[in-house]
Structure 1
Amino acid sequence: MQFLVYILVYPFLWLISILPFRLLYLVSDGLYILLYKIIGYRKKVVTNNLKLAFPDKTDKEIYIIRKKFYHHLCDMFLEMAKTLTISRKSLSKRFKLKNPEEAKRLEGLNKSVLLMYGHYASWEWSLELQNHTNLAGFAVYKRLANKYFDKLVRDIRSKFNTRLISTKQTILTIKKSEASGKKSITAFLSDQSPKISKDVYWGEFMGIEVPCFTGAERLAKKLDLVIAYLKITKVKRGYYEAEIMMLSETPQEHKDYKLTDMFLREVEKQIYEAPEYYFWTHKRWKHKDKKH
């Protein structure tokens, strides 16, 4: 069944990926009408999330942000498909690193790096960063249920010299890379909601107390890695900029959860600046009333 789904869906993804960008965004406009106006995909979840994050905004303001978000969401879905066939040159034109000198400086520290970022703007196209560093590139991800699509995603990433790894593989992968004499840079998407456990860290996100992922911080302290934040902004339709922002070169000197809080504050700043580019369809605040 997994293979049948794959061979039925893959041709459509490939056809989307070879569309010129101008036509791609016309398709996105049509997808917006279908997803937002006809199907109403997760509209209730998005509306509730926006009202939680922005309790002082009027219904009209929430409505405007929601509409803009769905336009961006459709663009992002199709941009992800575009990655199937996009050239390195085209990706470099559309996703620019504002401070490439910082990537080189990090490389010169002779330490492996953890790069934290949130589900904001275009995290998928951040694979372009490998053009700016000789560090081995890894990205922590959750494996897809369909093994054929999972392999497809891993193959796409590997085209741009980034290897996808599971959470359980992270420590061993970084250690193996260092043992071979190769420092690395590992990407962590760390703003979503973890499962609740007795030792989970509860922190504030958008003014609401929620459980938070602390894996990147704990790993940085355990292996003495540099930890930074990647600020991705949307310049205009189909164009993005990224900026590497240092969180700490000495993570072991920080109190527990301080680096996690620093990361969350950076994500919040971006959301307040342009809320329509955050990934509002996820139930980020679903555990907000479950702290014991």
Structure 2
Amino acid sequence: MNNILYYILILPISYLPNKFLYGLSNVLILILGRFIKYRNHIITSNLRNSFPNKSKREINEIKLGFYNHFCDLIIESIKGFTISRRNIENRIKINNQDLLNSFAEKGKNVILIGGHYNNWEMTAQRMPLVSKHDLFAIYKPLRNKFYDLKMKNSREKFGLKMISMKNTKDYFNNISGNPRAIIFGSDQSPSNSKNAHWINFLNQDTGFLFGAEKYSKEFNWPVIYVSIQKVRRGSYEVNYKLITGNPISESNGKIIEKFAQFLENDIKNQPSFWLWSHDRWKKKK
């Protein structure tokens, strides 16, 4: 059934031109945002707790913007299965690739840290096309083996290589060859709150995954934040921001705290474009 759905529905949709794709997104917005009200309780609660000074009207405006963006993400993820190099280069502009490349020219590996903000999937697809590093990303495999393989192939089509979370330690212990950049998505809710680093983030005590900081310090890899801004529908700009060039000199938790501050600033600047439907604060300190 999964195979059939992919080949008769998802794959044909991915070949549609943008005009039709975003027309489908508009239909999804009505279904998920107006009729089903997908995860409305979680989204509303997250927004109210994050922005206690905003009015009900302002919260609803952000929520509507989220549904619009979320449906675009669904469509853009489907497009990712068949997107061309030219198309993705037109959609994603990277403004300061020289910062990242400067480390590769010195033979240095780096950690790239980001959040589930704007179109992180398409950005990760785009990055290898201009990077002097070999690019890798840590990910959690899907339970459905068929779609896990399809998503993995989609992500890797322009040179990105995926590393299962369970293999992260082995990967770091066996690195050789060309300089590498490894992407960590570090804003998910941690599975074990005791191992999390707790920060006041968006007005709430928030547990953060500690893996990016742990490995950056263990191997002394510079850490760079990936800031993604939405310019218009379907178009994004990326700016790299150096968190630290010398992780072992940073105090415990400082790297994750700097990341959280960068991400919070981006969210406050364009609040509709974070993944508010995720039950981010289900784990308590």
| Range class of TM-score, shorter chain | over 0.9
In 2 relative to 1, CA 51–135 (structure 1 residues): closer, same or farther, beyond 3 Å? same
Matching residue of 1:21: 18
Q: Identity over aligned residues, as a percent?
A: 34
- Structure 1 residues 128-137 or 272-281, which shifts more? 128-137
Does 2:60 match 1:63?
yes
Q: How many pairs does the alignment contain?
A: 284
For 2:227 and 2:37, locate their aligned partners in 1 and report how far apart those are by CA, in whole Å: 30
3-state SS, counterpart of residue 125 of structure 1:
helix
Query: C-alpha offsets along residues 182-235 of structure 1, whole Å, 9 cap, x if unaligned?
Result: 221111110111023434322111121122111000010111111110000000
**Structure 2 equivalent of residue 228 of structure 1:** 224
Matches within 5 A, 1:1-292: 4-126=1-123, 127-178=125-176, 181-287=177-283, 290-291=284-285
Cα distance in 2, alignment partners of residues 265 and 60 from structure 1:
26
> Which TM-score applies when normalising by structure 2?
0.96
In structure 1, distance between residues paired with 2:61 and 2:156: 38
Task: Render the CA deviation track for 1:91-143: whole Å, top value 9, x for unaligned.
Answer: 01100101122132121231111100011111001121111113111111110
CA RMSD of aligned residues (A): 1.3
Equivalent AA in structure 1 for residue 221 of structure 2: L
Structure 1 alignment gaps of length 5 or more:
none
Q: CA–CA distance in 1 between the matches of 2:194 and 2:238? A: 36
The code of the aligned residue for 1:167 comes to M
Show CA shifts across 1:22-58 (max 9, x none): 1110110011001111111101110110001000111
Gapped runs of 5+ residues in structure 2?
A: none
Structure 1 residue 6 displacement after superposition: 3.0
* 1-structure distance, mates of 2:103, 2:213: 18
- The runs of 4+ residues in structure 1 deviating greater than 4 Å are none
Q: Supply the distance in 1 between the matched residues of 2:36 and 2:7 (Cα, whole angstroms).
A: 23
**Cα deviation, residue 9, structure 1:** 3.5
1:99–1:60 distance in 2 versus 1, CA, 3 Å: same
Residues 135 and 182 in structure 1, CA contact (< 8 A), matched pair in contact too = yes
